[in-house]
């Protein structure tokens, strides 16, 4: 079972890893040990796209959200300049499953509960991935991850998606400043929900807006919260929201 919402790009050439190293949030050298989760940011440190880097000989595959792939390819081409690499579309499909990764597949680097990802036609499994994401507080492209996102606010450190020691990349200065000089006042959290509300519903603590309700599953949800306003008893539309801090 292929994931229809994914598109795989190929960065071809002997300098593919060096090219990506100066752009993405994670250390491309980790490809020696498996799949790498990373993001591409704006120079102002905001989210543009997240993806998995997959080793394929001297080449690197980029497993990206299908709706972001064309813009991601265009942005990479902008940075390419005279780098001796090629950035190509592929027909490679992505399959996913739980348990030990089959031969040729890669463990999802974000969280052990997120299973494996395959690129060689491995049979996938029908799984409630949203429920697993909520349980592990893993954000989703286009839902919890938007053009207004700062990656440290949505847990990229916990999800093995950023390396603060790798050196420069696009948006690194802002990300480093957030890491070392500020305390996060807003961010993604897992909350309990009694009832349901549309994704994007404001969460109220008393009369103050305390955040936004996002993906919901099995009585819990991901929420983007203002930590100074969030409390034990909140509401989102007709739903009751509980955050224990």
In this structure, the answer to whether residues 92 and 196 fall within a common structural domain is no
Print the domain residue range for 214: 186-242
Residue 231 inside a domain? The answer is yes
pTM of the predicted model as reported, rounded to 2 decimal places: 0.95
pLDDT in tens, 83-115: 899 999 999 999 999 998 999 999 999 999 999
Contact between 175 and 41 (Cβ < 8 Å):
yes
DSSP string, 77-146: HHHHTT-S-EEEE-----EEESSSPPTT-EE-TT-GGG-EEESS--------HHHHHHHHT---BTTTB-
Residue 151 inside a domain? The answer is no
SS3 of 52, please?
strand
The CATH number that applies at residue 94 is 3.30.70.1400
| Whether residue 82 has pLDDT greater than 90 | no
* Rg (the chain; Cα; Å): 19
Distant-in-sequence, close-in-space partners of 136: CB < 8 Å, separation ≥ 6: 110, 111, 113, 114
In this structure, the answer to whether residues 123 and 203 fall within a common structural domain is no
In this structure, the answer to whether residues 52 and 118 fall within a common structural domain is yes
pLDDT in tens, 15-46: 999 999 999 999 999 999 999 999 999 999 99
In this structure, the answer to whether residues 15 and 126 fall within a common structural domain is yes
Domain count, the chain: 2
- Which residue, of 86, 115, 131, is where some domain finishes? 131
In this structure, the answer to whether residues 36 and 118 fall within a common structural domain is yes
- Which residue, of 101, 131, 161, is where some domain finishes? 131
Q: What is the 3-state secondary structure (H, E, C) of 146-180?
A: CCCCCHHHHCCCCCCCCCCCCCCCCCHHHHHHHHH
- For residue 232, the number of C-alpha atoms closer than 13 Å in the C-beta half-sphere is 0
- The stretch 133-138 carries a mean pLDDT of 98
Which two tokens mark 12?
């071809």
Which two tokens mark 166?
């790798």
In this structure, the answer to whether residues 125 and 207 fall within a common structural domain is no
In this structure, the answer to whether residues 119 and 213 fall within a common structural domain is no
CA distance 90 to 8: 6
In this structure, the answer to whether residues 116 and 198 fall within a common structural domain is no
In this structure, the answer to whether residues 200 and 84 fall within a common structural domain is no
Write out the H or E segment, with its range, that includes residue 212: strand 208-217
In this structure, the answer to whether residues 98 and 199 fall within a common structural domain is no
User: 183: pLDDT confidence band, cut at 50, 70 and 90?
Assistant: confident
User: 3-state SS of the chain: helix, strand, coil percent to 5?
Assistant: 20, 35, 45
The residue with greater pLDDT, 116 or 3, is 116
In this structure, the answer to whether residues 44 and 121 fall within a common structural domain is yes
Quick one: pLDDT at residue 182?
Answer: 72
Residue 210 inside a domain? The answer is yes
Residue 198 inside a domain? The answer is yes
Please return the burial class of 151, using the count of CB atoms within 10 Å of its CB with bins 0-12, 13-18 and 19+.
buried
CA distance 16 to 157: 24
- Which residue, of 131, 156, 172, is where some domain finishes? 131
- Work out the percent of the chain whose per-residue pLDDT is above 70: 99
CA distance 92 to 82: 27
Average pLDDT of every residue of the chain: 95
CA distance 74 to 77: 5
- Quote the longest CA-to-CA distance of the chain: 58
């Amino acid at each position: 079972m292929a994931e229809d919402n994914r598109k795989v790009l190929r960065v071809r050439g002997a300098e593919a890893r060096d090219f990506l190293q100066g752009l993405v949030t994670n250390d491309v050298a980790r490809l020696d040990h498996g799949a790498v989760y990373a993001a591409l940011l704006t120079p102002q440190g905001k989210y543009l796209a997240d993806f998995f880097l997959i080793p394929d000989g001297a080449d690197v595959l980029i497993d990206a959200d299908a709706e972001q792939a064309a813009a991601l390819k265009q942005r990479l081409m902008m940075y390419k300049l005279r780098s001796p690499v090629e950035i190509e579309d592929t027909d490679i499909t992505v399959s996913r499953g739980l348990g030990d990764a089959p031969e040729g597949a890669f463990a999802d680097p974000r969280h052990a509960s997120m299973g494996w990802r395959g690129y060689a036609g491995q049979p996938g499994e029908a799984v409630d991935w949203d429920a697993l994401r909520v349980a592990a507080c893993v954000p989703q492209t286009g839902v919890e991850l938007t053009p207004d996102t700062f990656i440290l606010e949505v847990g990229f450190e916990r999800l093995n998606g950023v390396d603060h020691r790798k050196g420069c990349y696009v948006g690194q200065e802002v990300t480093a400043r957030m890491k070392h000089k500020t305390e996060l006042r807003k961010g993604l959290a897992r909350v309990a929900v009694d009832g349901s509300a549309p994704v994007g519903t404001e969460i109220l603590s008393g009369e103050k807006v305390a955040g936004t309700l996002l993906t919901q599953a099995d009585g819990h949800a991901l929420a983007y919260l203002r930590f100074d306003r969030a409390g034990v008893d909140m509401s989102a539309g007709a739903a009751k929201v509980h955050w224990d801090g």
